[in-house]
Structures are given as C-alpha cells and as structure tokens.
C-alpha cells in the first residue's frame, strides 16, 4: 500500500492509471503530498534520484536502508522481474491492466 497516499485516493490513481498507461508502467510517489511519477525505466529513474539527492537522502525519503538499496539496485539491473519488489519498497505500483 502507498506510504503517503490514503487508500481512497490510491484506488482512484490506480484505476485512472489502468485507463491511461500501458501495462508494465510504474508509478512511484515523488512527494509526500501524493504526486506520482510515471516511470518506464525504473533503474534509470532511481539512479537519477540518487545522483540528484544522494543515496542517504533518497533512502531517508522512502524509508529504505542504504546498504540494502545498493544491493537491490544491483539485482534490479540484472533481473527486471525484481522491479515488483523494488516498486513495493518505494510505495508505488506497476500498472497491471491494458491501456
């Protein structure tokens, strides 16, 4: 479940995303107010955030352990099916329905 978005709003966002985004698109919260980022390449998105904010700030925002996060990113690069796990860690979700 989303860390920052109440369940009612989360369900609305999820339903809208299934209508407007292709299957496999990732949506990740980028603010504590509930703004969502559409992500087509999770690894590039995470690396860009870490480069901008630094690993410690990135992990603090999402409540992640920096040591585990480095390992998670390495695994994600090798195995894209790992994205389900990492998106759950960020509080986002992957669109399951068709556009």
40 with 26: CB under 8 angstroms?
Answer: yes
pTM of the model: 0.61
Helix (H) or strand (E) holding 26: strand 26-29
Domain coordinates of the chain in residue numbers?
7-94
Answer yes or no: are the C-beta atoms of 89 and 72 closer than 8 Å: yes
Each residue's pLDDT tens digit, 25-82? 888 877 766 778 888 887 788 888 889 889 899 888 888 888 888 887 777 766 666 6
């Amino acid at each position: 479940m989303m860390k920052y978005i109440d369940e009612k709003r989360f369900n609305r966002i999820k339903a809208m995303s299934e209508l407007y985004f292709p299957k496999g698109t990732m949506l990740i919260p980028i603010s504590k107010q509930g703004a969502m980022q559409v992500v087509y390449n999770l690894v590039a998105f995470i690396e860009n955030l870490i480069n901008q904010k630094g690993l410690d700030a990135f992990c603090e925002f999402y409540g992640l352990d920096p040591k585990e996060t480095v390992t998670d990113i390495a695994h994600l690069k090798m195995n894209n099916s790992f994205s389900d796990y990492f998106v759950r860690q960020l509080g986002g979700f992957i669109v399951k329905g068709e556009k």
